[in-house]
Structure 1
Amino acid sequence: MREGYAEVEGMVRRHPTESLVVCFGSGLIAGVVVSLLLRWR
């Protein structure tokens, strides 16, 4: 488990902009999915 964290941390240090874009995109997609699920109820 710790190896995975270290690997991700290294990737973030090497590619900070890409990591930020991935986090933003993931949050955006999660927000859309949650809003669609709440809208159906």
Structure 2
Amino acid sequence: MAFICEIKTTLAEQVILWILILWIRSSADSLCIIVKPEIILY
């Protein structure tokens, strides 16, 4: 049971991390363009 709980915890943490990454990307598009101009080229 502990192993399953650990897997669920890591999966939940990964989902939260992905949501945070997507939110940061969507909310900081202009900042990313300013910081990394090469993104415009792609």
The C-alpha deviation readout for 1:5-25, integer Å capped at 9, x for no partner, is xxxxxxxxxx00000000000
- Deviating above 6 A after TM superposition, structure 1's stretches of 4 or more consecutive aligned residues are none
State the TM-score, normalized to the length of structure 1. 0.64
Partner amino acid, structure 1, of 2:21: S
Give structure 1 stretches of 5+ with no counterpart: 1-14
After TM superposition, list the pairs within 5 Å mapping 1:1-41 onto structure 2. 15-41=1-27
State the TM-score, normalized to the length of structure 2. 0.62
Identical-pair percentage:
7
Give structure 2 stretches of 5+ with no counterpart: 28-42
More relative contact order in 1 or in 2 (CA 8 Å, sep 6+)? 1
In terms of fraction of residues, the more helix-rich structure is 1
Q: Count residues with an aligned counterpart.
A: 27
